[in-house]
Amino acid sequence: MNVRWSYMMFVLALGTLSVGCPADEKPPAPVHVPAMPPPVRRAQLKGLQGDVKVKRAAGDEWLPAQEGMALFENDKVRTVAGAGAQIVFANGSVVSLGDDALIGIAETRPRPGQERTDLTVLRGRVDAELEDPAKQSLSVTTPAATVRAGREIVFQ
């Protein structure tokens, strides 16, 4: 109940501030919009075999993958028949990508004390391994289901 009352007071105070602005006030000076933060590196490509390609979140072109290439949120990785790759996440979890596969590096939502890695598999097969499932977690989303491994949540 206390939370609700303090929230009500806060919202009412905001409303009062807004109502109090006179209509003939000069327009405010242009606000400086900070630049978008640089994308955060989520994983790294390793053990490339055959034809593996990467599409950046902001690009339309499939680029040839390179050993050690950094992967960012919403990047996509594609393998053709006979190809394969390993995706090593920052928290140490490793996903092996089979041939003829298409995956996306999904946005991650870190929680206190836990790094959470999310992966979208649109086609093909991935083999995942969590070395320390008490501290790591991996969430794999497909068109049919979401698969979660490791710890659900970690409290401080």
Partner 1 sequence: MKGSFLLAMLMLAPAEAEVRDRARAQSVLETARNAVKHADAKAARREEAAAKLKEAEAHFQSARYEEAAQAADGAWKLLSTSAASQPTAFTVAVDDKGSTTVTSHSGQPVRVDAEGVTRSVGPNTSMRVTKGQPPPEPKPLLSVPLPTQPSDKLKLSVQPAKGGLGPITLAWKAVEGAESYEVELVPVRGEKRVLTATTAQLKVALPAGAYRWSVRALAREARGEASPEHGFEVAEAPAKSIKLEVQSTKWK
Residues that bind partner 1 (CB under 8 A): 3-4, 7-8, 11-12, 15, 18-19, 98, 121-134, 140, 142-155
Nearer of residues 35 and 134 to partner 1, judged by Cβ: 134
Nearer of residues 44 and 96 to partner 1, judged by Cβ: 96
Q: Which residues contact 39 (CB under 8 A, 6 or more apart)?
A: 57, 72, 73
Minimum CB distance to partner 1, residue 7 (Å): 6
Nearer of residues 70 and 90 to partner 1, judged by Cβ: 90
User: 115 is written with which tokens?
Assistant: 């790094």
Minimum CB distance to partner 1, residue 38 (Å): 29
Q: What angle do CA 6, 9, 13 make, to 5 degrees?
A: 140
Distance of CA 106 to the CA centre of its chain: 4
Nearer of residues 18 and 25 to partner 1, judged by Cβ: 18
Reported as type and span, the H/E element at residue 110 is none
82, burial (CB in 10 Å: exposed 0-12, middle 13-18, buried 19+): exposed
Nearer of residues 80 and 153 to partner 1, judged by Cβ: 153
Minimum CB distance to partner 1, residue 58 (Å): 25
Cα 79 to Cα 73: distance, rounded to the nearest angstrom: 18
Cα 91 to Cα 86: distance, rounded to the nearest angstrom: 14
Minimum CB distance to partner 1, residue 9 (Å): 10
Minimum CB distance to partner 1, residue 149 (Å): 4
